[in-house]
């Protein structure tokens, strides 16, 4: 049975719409107008036990709204959600003991007290025996390389230290399902790496399912084999990370180094010219034509070196979002199959 | 009963102890502010000066010493019945900080009550100092008994008054907490507290003892929740003449009514909660 089952999930918000200026203010006071914003539109996917899934989308795509529905914080307008076989917005304690949500900008740490006090609270409310709680705190602190910070007031900690403490608080009860919303937001490179390694270890050790949103592709490539992408509230891709490039980047980049200088017109016969710098040319060549074109290049020209690469994943995903945003149907993304 | 639910039941004393300890520690961080609150709630001591004059005039059925005792007890009752949850709850809803609490397997309401108890314990030494200063200035409050005997309300009255005090706190808490639920629809609800504060101030016995009211008006007001928030526990100590059974029944009735109202609005309101921010 999947850990998370989402079927035709939708959420619509009524948002007050105010025009600028004094007249707008008075109109807003007398007769308030509301716009209906459909934040999530008919999203469906499933997550299997132990799976780590990247949840991607541009700002305002509906990622956080979806996470809030998956954790039961907000009620869906339509569709259904089941997490560990339960409906999350019923907020049954049995389910709450098995899930967690880390939101990068929302702290559960008590601001004026040291993190250890918040961890004591969590240990008590999750009924973790005191000796076991101490063992888990030591273990988590060790995995996240955090020590003295636990007894300093939260307000005195750096953003990275606070985020590590948030993770400790969120994972103290050993949840089976982790919903992570930008867990590395604002962290330096070392802290990002530490959090990624920690999440990978946690997933392996506890077999937890993880749904992760992040604007840092390094988080996704390091942790997720599968990604779910949404844009303007709708699902646009659900499949393996590796397939994204295959599906959405029909070109490969070919860097050719020649025996002498080369001109634009000559190279244009082989593919789309990205750049020419003396003896070095960069071309974009369709995947289907790649072998034939390289054979022609080698036969026609004095090639001294040749490399073929995929475009960076960030560029491909950025292009998918751009195409989605502009309604460009050239590379209209389609929903892939769910990878178990 | 399942093993898990048994473990949860056994865990309740620990939950309450840890939450109280932590929230007391949190409130101790605000001790300077809380000390100022203890000073800022001296309205009963100010009103005492006004009513002491009235007591001396013989126009009201209370003596100057009774006025002293009444208002010093009112001041103490006020220290343990002040409820500020509407301001806190509004902040949590508007900023989305309620969300982490909703993900815990414990009702946030329990935490809010324990926060208040932690704040009361923090406030206690400051309030005790103010009362000590007052008793030093007006020793007849203690020594002004008949034929110079010391004032002793009696153990039973003191115990009843303590129970009434904390019932009053729970009543006032749920009254305000039910109003808090409006935050799910309107967000800025702290201003609504004024709707409750006015009748609380005038009809609770905070600024005048009920003995000063005409009988018909007093009888009507005794069916409302307000007199039981201050006047009832104060009268148990000062005069020992309060309608004990009726008083407690009305208190429990209103508390149950506000509790039911809060639970109803809580379930409705959570459907409107947008967990904003992020």
Q: How confident is the model at residue A329 (pLDDT cuts 50, 70, 90)?
A: very low
Handedness of CA A216, A217, A218, A222 (dihedral sign): positive
Q: Is the pLDDT of residue A312 over 90?
A: no
- Using CA atoms, how far apart are residues A138 and A140, in angstroms rounded to an integer? 6
Q: How confident is the model at residue A304 (pLDDT cuts 50, 70, 90)?
A: very high
Q: What is the CA radius of gyration of chain B?
A: 21
Cross-strand pairs, A40: A11
- Best CA proximity match to A54, nearest among A165, A163, A189, A178: A178
User: What is the least distance, in Å, from the CA of B21 to any CA of chain A?
Assistant: 9
Hey, where are the domains in chain B?
3-272
Closest chain A residue to B102, measured at CA:
A73
Q: Please indicate whether, in this complex, the C-beta atoms of A121 and B99 are within 8 angstroms of each other.
A: no
Q: What is the mean pLDDT of chain A?
A: 87
What per-residue confidence (pLDDT) applies to B7? 60
A122 or B65: which leads in pLDDT: A122
CATH 3.40.50.300: which residues of chain A?
A: 47-245
- Using CA atoms, how far apart are residues A162 and B36, in angstroms rounded to an integer? 31
Q: Is the pLDDT of residue A28 over 90?
A: no
- Using CA atoms, how far apart are residues A148 and B122, in angstroms rounded to an integer? 28
Closest chain A residue to B93, measured at CA:
A73
Q: Please indicate whether, in this complex, the C-beta atoms of B22 and A89 are within 8 angstroms of each other.
A: no
Q: What is the CA radius of gyration of chain A?
A: 25
Chain A residue numbers with beta carbons less than 8 Å from the beta carbon of B22 are 110, 113, 117-118, 120-121
User: What is the least distance, in Å, from the CA of B271 to any CA of chain A?
Assistant: 6
Which of B19, B100, B188, B277 should we substitute to test contact with A (largest number of A Cβ atoms within 10 Å)?
B100
Which residue among A107, A108, A110 sits closest to B26, beta carbon to beta carbon?
A110
The interface pTM score, or ipTM, of the predicted complex is 0.87
- Using CA atoms, how far apart are residues A19 and B163, in angstroms rounded to an integer? 55
Chain-centroid distance, C-alpha B206? 12
User: What is the least distance, in Å, from the CA of A12 to any CA of chain B?
Assistant: 11
Inter-chain contacts counted by CB atoms under 8 A, chains A and B: 85
Q: Please indicate whether, in this complex, the C-beta atoms of B18 and A121 are within 8 angstroms of each other.
A: yes
Report the first-to-last Cα separation within chain B, whole angstroms: 39
Reduced to 3 states (helix: H, G, I; strand: E, B; else coil), residue A339 is: coil
Q: What is the mean pLDDT of residues B175-203?
A: 90
What per-residue confidence (pLDDT) applies to A339? 33
Which of A95, A103, A114 should we substitute to test contact with B (largest number of B Cβ atoms within 10 Å)?
A103
What per-residue confidence (pLDDT) applies to B257? 98
With a CB cutoff of 8 Å and minimum separation 6, the contacts of A167 are: A102, A140, A144, A183, A195, A198
Chain A residue numbers with beta carbons less than 8 Å from the beta carbon of B2 are none
What per-residue confidence (pLDDT) applies to A340? 29
- The phi and psi torsions of B83 (rounded to 5 degrees) equal -125, 125
pLDDT in tens, A199-208: 999 999 999 9
Q: What is the mean pLDDT of chain B?
A: 89
Q: Is the pLDDT of residue A73 over 50?
A: yes
Q: Is the pLDDT of residue B124 over 80?
A: yes
Q: Please indicate whether, in this complex, the C-beta atoms of B99 and A106 are within 8 angstroms of each other.
A: yes
Cβ atoms of A283 and A270 within 8 Å: the answer is yes
Q: Please indicate whether, in this complex, the C-beta atoms of A106 and B11 are within 8 angstroms of each other.
A: no
What per-residue confidence (pLDDT) applies to A335? 41
Q: Please indicate whether, in this complex, the C-beta atoms of A97 and B105 are within 8 angstroms of each other.
A: yes
Q: What is the mean pLDDT of residues B90-105?
A: 91
Q: Please indicate whether, in this complex, the C-beta atoms of B18 and A123 are within 8 angstroms of each other.
A: yes
Q: Is the pLDDT of residue B128 over 70?
A: yes
Closest chain A residue to B16, measured at CA:
A124
Q: Please indicate whether, in this complex, the C-beta atoms of B105 and A75 are within 8 angstroms of each other.
A: no
The helix (H) or strand (E) run that includes residue A308 is: strand A303-309
Q: Please indicate whether, in this complex, the C-beta atoms of B15 and A124 are within 8 angstroms of each other.
A: yes
With a CB cutoff of 8 Å and minimum separation 6, the contacts of B106 are: A125, B15
Q: Is the pLDDT of residue B95 over 90?
A: no
- The phi and psi torsions of B221 (rounded to 5 degrees) equal -65, -30
Which residue among A104, A117, A125 sits closest to B106, beta carbon to beta carbon?
A125
Percent of chain A scoring above 90 in pLDDT: 56
Maximum Cα interatomic distance, chain A, rounded to a whole number of Å: 77
With a CB cutoff of 8 Å and minimum separation 6, the contacts of B189 are: B86, B89, B90, B179, B180, B182, B183
Q: Is the pLDDT of residue A338 over 50?
A: no
What per-residue confidence (pLDDT) applies to A331? 37
- Using CA atoms, how far apart are residues A146 and A142, in angstroms rounded to an integer? 6
What per-residue confidence (pLDDT) applies to A249? 75
What per-residue confidence (pLDDT) applies to B181? 95
Chain A residue numbers with beta carbons less than 8 Å from the beta carbon of B277 are 105-106
Q: Please indicate whether, in this complex, the C-beta atoms of B11 and A124 are within 8 angstroms of each other.
A: yes
What per-residue confidence (pLDDT) applies to B146? 66
The helix (H) or strand (E) run that includes residue B231 is: helix B231-238
Q: Please indicate whether, in this complex, the C-beta atoms of A121 and B19 are within 8 angstroms of each other.
A: yes
Closest chain A residue to B110, measured at CA:
A125
Chain-centroid distance, C-alpha A4? 16
Which residues does A contribute to its contact with B (CB < 8 Å)? 13, 64, 68, 71-75, 89, 91, 93-94, 96-97, 99-101, 103-108, 110, 112-113, 117-118, 120-127, 181
Chain A residue numbers with beta carbons less than 8 Å from the beta carbon of B18 are 120-121, 123-124
pLDDT in tens, A183-193: 888 778 888 88
Q: How confident is the model at residue A216 (pLDDT cuts 50, 70, 90)?
A: confident
Q: Please indicate whether, in this complex, the C-beta atoms of B100 and A106 are within 8 angstroms of each other.
A: yes
Chain B residue numbers with beta carbons less than 8 Å from the beta carbon of A97 are 105
What per-residue confidence (pLDDT) applies to A205? 92
Chain A residue numbers with beta carbons less than 8 Å from the beta carbon of B19 are 121, 124-125
DSSP B188: -
With a CB cutoff of 8 Å and minimum separation 6, the contacts of B117 are: B20, B23, B24
Q: Please indicate whether, in this complex, the C-beta atoms of B106 and A108 are within 8 angstroms of each other.
A: no
Cβ atoms of A259 and A85 within 8 Å: the answer is no
Place domain A47-245 in its CATH homologous superfamily. Answer: P-loop containing nucleotide triphosphate hydrolases (3.40.50.300)
B82 or A34: which leads in pLDDT: B82
Q: Please indicate whether, in this complex, the C-beta atoms of B22 and A110 are within 8 angstroms of each other.
A: yes
CATH 3.30.70: which residues of chain A?
A: 250-309
- Using CA atoms, how far apart are residues B124 and B128, in angstroms rounded to an integer? 6
- Using CA atoms, how far apart are residues B269 and B185, in angstroms rounded to an integer? 7
Q: Please indicate whether, in this complex, the C-beta atoms of B14 and A124 are within 8 angstroms of each other.
A: yes
Q: Is the pLDDT of residue A305 over 90?
A: yes
Which residue among A75, A105, A113 sits closest to B278, beta carbon to beta carbon?
A105
What per-residue confidence (pLDDT) applies to A284? 87
What one-character-per-residue DSSP string does A21-49 give?
HHHHHHHHHHS-EEEEEEEEEEEEEEE-T
Q: How confident is the model at residue B159 (pLDDT cuts 50, 70, 90)?
A: very high
Reduced to 3 states (helix: H, G, I; strand: E, B; else coil), residue A150 is: helix
Q: What is the mean pLDDT of residues A54-74?
A: 93
Q: Please indicate whether, in this complex, the C-beta atoms of B271 and A110 are within 8 angstroms of each other.
A: no
Q: Please indicate whether, in this complex, the C-beta atoms of A127 and B11 are within 8 angstroms of each other.
A: yes
- Best CA proximity match to A216, nearest among A186, A260, A171, A239: A186
pLDDT in tens, A135-181: 999 999 988 888 889 999 999 998 888 988 999 999 999 999 999 99
pLDDT in tens, B224-243: 999 999 999 999 988 767 78
Instruction: Tell me the CATH number for domain A250-309.
Output: 3.30.70
Q: How confident is the model at residue A211 (pLDDT cuts 50, 70, 90)?
A: very high
What per-residue confidence (pLDDT) applies to A327? 47
């Amino acid at each position: 049975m999947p850990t998370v089952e989402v079927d035709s999930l939708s959420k619509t918000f009524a948002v007050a719409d105010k025009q600028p200026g004094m007249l707008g203010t008075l109109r807003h006071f007398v007769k308030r107008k509301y716009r209906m914003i459909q934040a999530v539109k008919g999203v469906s996917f499933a997550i299997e036990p132990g799976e780590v899934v990247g949840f991607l989308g541009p700002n305002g795509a509906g990622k956080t709204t979806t996470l809030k529905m998956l954790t039961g914080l907000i009620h869906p307008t339509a569709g259904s959600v089941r997490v560990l076989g339960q409906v999350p917005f019923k907020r049954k304690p049995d389910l709450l003991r098995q899930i967690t949500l880390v939101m990068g900008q929302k702290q559960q740490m008590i601001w004026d007290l040291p993190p250890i006090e918040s961890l004591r609270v969590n240990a008590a409310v999750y009924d973790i025996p005191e000796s076991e709680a101490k063992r888990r705190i030591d273990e988590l602190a060790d995995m996240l390389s955090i020590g003295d910070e636990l007894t300093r007031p939260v307000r005195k900690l750096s953003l990275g230290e606070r985020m590590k403490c948030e993770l400790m608080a969120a994972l103290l009860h050993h949840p089976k399902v982790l919903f992570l919303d930008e867990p590395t937001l604002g962290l330096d490179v070392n802290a990002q790496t530490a959090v990624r390694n920690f999440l990978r270890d946690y997933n392996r050790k506890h077999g937890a399912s993880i749904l992760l949103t992040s604007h840092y592709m390094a988080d996704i490539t390091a942790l997720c084999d599968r990604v779910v992408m949404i844009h303007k509230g709708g699902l646009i891709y659900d499949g393996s990370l590796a397939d994204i490039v295959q599906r959405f980047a029909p070109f490969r980049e070919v860097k050719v180094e020649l025996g002498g200088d080369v001109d634009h017109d000559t190279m244009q016969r082989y593919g789309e010219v990205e750049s020419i710098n003396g003896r070095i040319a960069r071309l974009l060549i369709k995947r289907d034509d790649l072998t034939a074109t390289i054979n022609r290049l080698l036969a026609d020209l004095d090639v001294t070196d040749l490399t073929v690469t995929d475009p960076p994943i960030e560029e491909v995903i950025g292009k998918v979002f751009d195409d989605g945003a502009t309604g460009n149907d050239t590379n209209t993304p389609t929903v892939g199959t769910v990878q178990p | 009963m399942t093993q898990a639910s048994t473990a949860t039941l056994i865990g309740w004393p620990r939950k309450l102890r840890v939450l109280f300890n932590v929230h007391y520690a949190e409130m101790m961080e605000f001790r300077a502010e809380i000390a100022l609150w203890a000073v800022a709630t001296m309205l009963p001591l100010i009103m005492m000066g006004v009513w002491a004059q009235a007591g001396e005039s013989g126009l009201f059925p209370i003596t100057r010493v009774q006025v002293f005792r009444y208002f010093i007890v009112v001041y103490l009752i006020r220290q343990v019945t002040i409820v500020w949850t509407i301001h806190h709850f509004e902040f949590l809803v508007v900023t989305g900080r309620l969300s982490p609490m909703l993900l815990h397997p414990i009702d946030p309401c329990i935490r809010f009550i324990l926060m208040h108890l932690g704040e009361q314990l923090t406030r206690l030494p400051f309030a005790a100092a103010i009362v000590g200063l007052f008793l030093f200035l007006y020793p007849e409050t203690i020594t002004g008994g008949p034929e110079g005997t010391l004032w002793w309300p009696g153990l039973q009255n003191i115990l009843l008054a303590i129970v009434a005090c904390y019932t009053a706190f729970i009543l006032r808490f749920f009254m305000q907490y039910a109003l808090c639920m409006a935050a799910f629809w309107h967000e800025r609800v702290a201003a609504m507290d004024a709707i409750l504060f006015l009748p609380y101030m005038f009809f609770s016995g905070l600024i005048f003892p009920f003995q000063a009211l005409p009988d018909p008006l007093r009888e009507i007001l005794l069916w409302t929740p307000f007199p039981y928030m201050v006047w009832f526990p104060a009268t148990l100590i000062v005069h020992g003449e309060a309608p004990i059974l009726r008083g407690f029944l009305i208190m429990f009735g209103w508390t149950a009514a506000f509790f039911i109202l809060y639970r109803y609005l809580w379930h409705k309101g959570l459907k409107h909660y947008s967990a904003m921010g992020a």
